[in-house]
Amino acid sequence: MAVALSVVDRAVGAIIGAAVADAAAQPLHWNYNLDKLKAILAQEPCPEFYPQSANPFYRRDTGQQSCYGDQAYVLLESLSECGGLNVEDLKQRTYKFFGPGSEYDTPVNDPYREKGGPRPQLPIEGPWRHASLKSFLKNVDAGKEETGCADDNQIDGIAKLAPIVARYAGKPEMLEKVEDAIRVTQNNDACVTETLAAARLLEHYILGGPDPKALDVVLKQLDDPERKNPQELDRAVAGHLHQVKEHMSKTPQELIPAVFPNT
- Span 63-78, mean pLDDT? 98
Q: Is the preceding peptide bond at 123 cis, omega within 30 degrees of 0? A: yes
* CB burial readout 159-197, b (16+ within 10 A) else e: bbbbbbbbbbbeeeebbebbbbbbbbbbbbebbbbbbbb
Domain ranges of the chain: 7-114+121-210
Q: Give the residue among 5, 2, 1 at the shortest CA–CA distance from 208.
A: 5
pLDDT value of residue 3: 56
Q: What are phi and psi of 124, to 5 degrees?
A: -85, 160
Q: How many secondary structure helices (H) and strands (E) does the chain include? A: 12, 2
CATH architecture of the region 7-114+121-210: Orthogonal Bundle (1.10)
Least confident window among 99-103, 206-210, 259-263: 259-263
pLDDT value of residue 1: 43
pTM: 0.93
* Residue 134 to residue 210: CA distance in whole angstroms: 37
- Does the pLDDT value for residue 26 go beyond 90? yes
- Output 3 or 10, whichever has higher pLDDT: 10
* Residue 169 to residue 157: CA distance in whole angstroms: 17
- Span 131-149, mean pLDDT? 97
* Residue 103 to residue 126: CA distance in whole angstroms: 7
- Span 44-73, mean pLDDT? 94
Predicted confidence (pLDDT) per residue in 216-242, tens digit: 999 999 999 999 999 999 999 999 999
HSE-CB at 250 with a 13 A cutoff on CA atoms is: 13
pLDDT value of residue 180: 98
- Output 255 or 185, whichever has higher pLDDT: 185
* Residue 148 to residue 245: CA distance in whole angstroms: 32
* Residue 202 to residue 36: CA distance in whole angstroms: 33
Predicted confidence (pLDDT) per residue in 149-195, tens digit: 999 999 999 999 999 999 999 999 999 999 999 999 999 999 999 99
What residue type is assigned to position 211 of the chain?
D
pLDDT value of residue 263: 60
Q: Which segments within the chain are labelled E, that is strand?
A: 58-59, 124-125
Mean pLDDT over all residues of the chain?
A: 94
